[in-house]
Structure 1
Amino acid sequence: MKNPKLVVGIIVGAIAFLGALIYNTMSYSQYRVEVCMEYQGRKNCRTALGASEELAVRAATDNACAMIASGMTDSMACTGSQPVSVKWLNRK
């Protein structure tokens, strides 16, 4: 090895990056929810994670509506409607 300081720097950087990645992933998994949406006779359920209850529900709603609505107008109408069910799988 020509430059051991460079190798040590790369290893320390990789460990710091992995630590930050794990920390951020853990903060998003504090809230996990399954939301079921119904739009124009179609129904779909999706699970999502979020740093807050609101973000988790919003992500699950958006994902469920993406599968049953077509186009921006339908997607907005679907996401604006009330969920058929909201099931908390993990709450802080």
Structure 2
Amino acid sequence: MKLWTKILIGVLIAGGTVSYLIYTLMAAQSWRCEVCIVYKGHRSCKAARAETRLAAYSTAAHLACSLITSGVTERMACPNTPPASKTCSKQ
């Protein structure tokens, strides 16, 4: 088999594998939540996708808090504060 044929087969296999991984990851994430949190006077909004509404909300809240907190204590307390706004939808 020629070298260019081997390279082409390798590229096709790699492309197929990457396409399959992207498809399965995107298909599994069926909820999208956007959460805005105000913590100690700072506001941050982030969105996240996950299989369940609770997981998407929790991830979005943690992402929003990661930008406006410092230290372990604040990072644990912030996601438990009531959000300024939240929207969740099934994708």
Q: TM-score, normalised by structure 2?
A: 0.79
Distance 1:5 1:72, change over 3 A: same
Distance 1:39 1:2 in 2: 59
Q: How far off its partner does 1:79 sit?
A: 1.2
Q: Secondary structure at the match of 1:59?
A: helix
Q: How far off its partner does 1:5 sit?
A: 6.8
- Which residue number in structure 2 is paired with residue 40 of structure 1? 40
Q: How far off its partner does 1:2 sit?
A: 4.9
Distance 2:46 2:3 in 1: 52
Q: How far off its partner does 1:6 sit?
A: 7.7
Gaps of 5+ in 1: none
Distance 1:72 1:4, change over 3 A: same
- Which residue number in structure 1 is paired with residue 60 of structure 2? 60
Distance 1:86 1:53 in 2: 12
Distance 1:85 1:3, change over 3 A: closer
Q: How far off its partner does 1:16 sit?
A: 3.1
Distance 1:61 1:2 in 2: 51
Cα-Cα RMSD: 2.1
Q: Secondary structure at the match of 1:82?
A: coil
- Which residue number in structure 1 is paired with residue 85 of structure 2? 85
Q: How far off its partner does 1:3 sit?
A: 8.9
- Which residue number in structure 2 is paired with residue 18 of structure 1? 19
Q: How far off its partner does 1:59 sit?
A: 1.0
Q: Secondary structure at the match of 2:37?
A: strand
**Identity of matched residues, %:** 25
Q: How far off its partner does 1:7 sit?
A: 5.1
